[in-house]
Amino acid sequence: MSASISPKVFDFLKNLAQNNNREWFTENKNLYTEAQENIILFLEELIKEMSGFDEQLEKIDAKKSLFRIYRDTRFSKDKTPYKTNFGASLGMGKGSQKGGYYLHLEPGKSFIAGGIYMPESSVLKTLRKEISLYGHEFIKILSNKDFKRYFSELDQDDKLKKVPQGFEKEDPMADYLKLKSFIVVYNLTDEEILDKNASKNLVKIFKTMKPLNDFLNAPFL
């Protein structure tokens, strides 16, 4: 029997969003533990199936891939102590410095993503050089029909207005060189997440991200 996300996971997150305080969380710690265990089982199956097309994922520990639910409030105006979502990084590497995959579970706001998110400046510069030099190969990946079925374009958040220093304004890849992240995002409905075949359905989408990750990781191998 395949692992699936229980509706109880979303029930817990909805209740947590309405009662984001330590007293409620402590009283309902069992609900958190139950939700966490369910997600870990789901991730274990997801990782096993994704390893079929990306062997780099074989050694990933499902439990360690899941981000902590406790928020770091030291430098935030928002002092609520808990995240109202579950997130898991699959192969992205420490600090998102490596192309990989991401799963975000949140009522009404779930999504999966792939690529490299907000890399440090040295990594970003290397990636921009790679895209400038091998633009044809990069465009080929983004134009693939299977890829286009799920992703219309790379995420445009925090995009620069001008081509960064060190690159020609007339560079054919100028529009991509302005990006600070190289990620794709696929939004999911609650029904898609709770579907009994969710893991198999997500694996199909994650698989289309692999060529992008391979391109982004190539200069660091």
pLDDT in tens, the chain (221 residues): 468 999 999 999 999 999 999 999 999 999 999 999 999 999 999 999 999 999 999 999 999 999 999 998 888 888 999 999 999 999 886 655 789 999 999 999 999 999 999 999 999 999 999 999 999 999 999 999 999 999 999 999 999 999 999 999 999 999 999 999 999 999 999 999 999 999 999 999 999 999 999 999 999 98
Rounded to whole angstroms, how far apart are CA atoms 12 and 63? 19
Its pTM stands at 0.94
For residue 203 the two structure tokens come to: 């694996």
Residues 2-35 as b/e (b if ≥16 CB within 10 A, e otherwise) read ebbbbeebbebbeebeeebeeeebeeeeebbeeb
